[in-house]
A and B are shown apart, each in its own frame.
Chain A
Amino acid sequence: MTTEEQLAVPLLEAQDLAVKYPNGELALHDMTFSIDAPSFTAIIGPNGSGKSTLIKTILGLMKPVHGFVRVLGHDSVKDSKTIQRLIRYVPQRDHIELTVPMRVKDIVLMGRLMKKPPPRFVSGKDREVGKSALKRVDMIDLWDRPFPELSGGQRQRVLVARALAGEGQILVLDEPLAGTDAESQKMIVEALGEYQRDFDVSIIMVTHDLNPIHVFVKHVLLLRNTLVGIGTPCDVMDPELIKRVYGPAAEVVEYAGHRYCITPDSGVDRHD
């Protein structure tokens, strides 16, 4: 494949995608879309709308019952090994088990060591990259601290650093902003945005709130167990669309020439 052809391959490409849980819950259905690479993509939607499910399907952790999704041209089921090399993944924070006495450095190095073949020894370079990743989220002072003893927001920043320290063209983060204050959000979002620009990677992240990220975000997927909207952050700021996803309580208000989007999830967001 030449570079040009590679550029033409979409980051994500789904067709008639449907995903079911073993208990029969149809979490996603009739999803057809395509997103060009490189991208900073946000997946938004209310609780239970299938955001995590879509991510798990992309990563090959769940198999579609219908249709397919491709990541840079690789089928999520058939080419899962290739996809695993391309991605770095941070699950929702509550999926990280805190009973194991990991230090901050162990968590960050994990981002690199998981992809190494056994015996997964730590090299000088691993340490260096890990430290610079922690610097990006301003957590370097906590290098030796026990991870379970950090605050929720600090843990989230360390987990983002784990993704930044890894290797692979696509960063996938499930709700990296959950439970963080305004300052942490700014830090995480800027770290991700700058990293995406500097290293020419793609970022796919689940979030409940477009506000802090829409400056960096290129594409937005709006979910409610199927694809309800796709486009730039401005495109999805459509009153009809927002109401359809978040219910009648959600509003898009125009004031002084700007558009504000008010949803139960996101507070206020202003658009021109």
Chain B
Amino acid sequence: MIDLLQLIFGTPFIVRALIAAILIAMIASTSGTFLVFRGLSFMASGVAHAALGGAALGFFLQETGFFPWFDPVLGAVLFAVLVAVMTGYAGESGIAQKMEVAVGVSFALSMSLAVFLMYYIPSDKVLVLWGYLVGDILLLTNQDVVLLVITTTLVVAVILMLNKEFVYVSVDYEGAIAHGMNARAYHYVMLVVSAIAIALATKAVGAILVYAILVAPAAASNELVKSVTGVMVAVFSIALFAQVIGIMISFAIAVSPSAIAGLIAAFSYVVALQVRRIRERARDQKLFEADKEETIPATFEGVVVPDDHSGHNH
């Protein structure tokens, strides 16, 4: 046991992977949870793929020597924020449908751009670019982890500070404005901060895993847990569990840890739906039985004529 722990914590790439797993679970429990509350889970996917497009542009500009300072990470963050702002603008009326369309369009746009630019990027860089799609948590560099720490701190701080505001804006957008809250500002802050986190998480573990880890645990927890804090804790646990199991299995058999983590995360949603159905059936059963007991004696008391409220006197 001690040996195993020594082996794990003595191996830098495993330590980096575990740290990243914790950080991404924190992003999921904050950003992911609030995006699902806001009915915006699809934005996580749009933003993650926009990050891919932005990174492709970064590689292209660097390689062609147009803008050698244009780092792919910068491109990823810029594109992600752009998509978030566009989505936010489309959704200012408070209608989620319009945001869905905006995300769909920017998704198509950034993926097309990425595929288009791939022909003009040297093949070793194309491999790095693929990392944005199907990244590997075991291949993180120290720099990746540092970036992830910074962005996670930002997201967690903002969401802990403004969680009531985000909740109120999600529950009752009009009411929040009418009572003097700057709902529009909160709406944008939430989207932009989430976008930055998603972009950097995408660089670390790939768009597909980011999407799975950000959305599925939040959706699963939201089916079962009845308080905002409870959902956040549940999301953190599911996301961390999925990733750690993914990392462990990848040592036993040759398989990508992201794939396992994504599968577990998605599976958690299926399980949550089942649990919810069973719970509801049990509750209906109880209600039905209580009803039976109450209504049977009532029939012996005769029919009660309901108070006629259709006429009033002045």
Contacts and interface: CB of A to CB of B under 8 A. Distances in A.
Contacts of A103: 226-227
B177 A61 contact: yes
Contacts, number: 113
Contacts of B178: 59-61, 84, 87, 89, 172
Interface of B: 36-39, 161-162, 164-165, 167-168, 170-181, 222, 225-228, 230-231, 306-307, 309-314
Contact of B306 (A60, A119, A182, A267): A182
Main secondary structure of the interface of A (DSSP, over half): mixed
A95 B313 contact: no
B39 A97 contact: yes
Given A119-B161, A182-B309, 5 more contacts: A84-B180, A85-B180, A101-B225, A114-B168, A118-B164
Contacts of B312: 211, 214-215, 269-270
Given A97-B172, A182-B307, A234 B179 contact: no
Contacts of A166: 179
Nearest to B165: A118
A110 B171 contact: yes
Nearest to B230: A101
Nearest to B225: A101
B314 A114 contact: no
A99 B313 contact: no
B39, B176, B178, B309: most-surrounded residue (chain A CB, <10 A): B178
A193 B202 CA distance: 56
A101 B226 CA distance: 5
Nearest to A146: B226
A199 B170 CA distance: 31
B164 to A, nearest CB: 5
Interface of A: 56, 59-61, 81, 84-85, 87-91, 95-97, 99-103, 106-107, 110, 113-115, 118-120, 146, 166, 172, 182, 185-186, 211-212, 214-215, 234, 258, 260, 267-272
Contacts of B307: 182
Contacts of B310: 211, 267-268
A99 B36 contact: yes
B37 A272 contact: no
A258 B314 CA distance: 9
A61, A101, A114, A260: most-surrounded residue (chain B CB, <10 A): A101
Contacts of A271: 314
Contacts of B306: 182
Contact of A81 (B37, B180, B227): B180
A118 B181 CA distance: 10
Contact of B309 (A56, A186, A234, A272): A186
B177 A101 contact: no
A11 B239 CA distance: 53
B179 A84 contact: yes
A95 B174 contact: yes
Nearest to A260: B311
Given A114-B168, A271-B314, A100 B228 contact: yes
B39, B172, B181, B225: most-surrounded residue (chain A CB, <10 A): B172
12 contacts: A89-B174, A95-B172, A95-B173, A97-B173, A99-B36, A99-B38, A101-B225, A106-B167, A118-B161, A182-B306, A215-B312, A271-B314
A270 B313 contact: yes
A113 B164 contact: yes
Contact of B313 (A61, A212, A272): A272
A81, A89, A234: most-surrounded residue (chain B CB, <10 A): A89
A88 to B, nearest CB: 7
A118 B168 CA distance: 12
B172 to A, nearest CB: 6
B156 to A, nearest CB: 16
B181 A114 contact: yes
Contacts of B314: 214, 234, 270-272
Contacts of B227: 101, 103
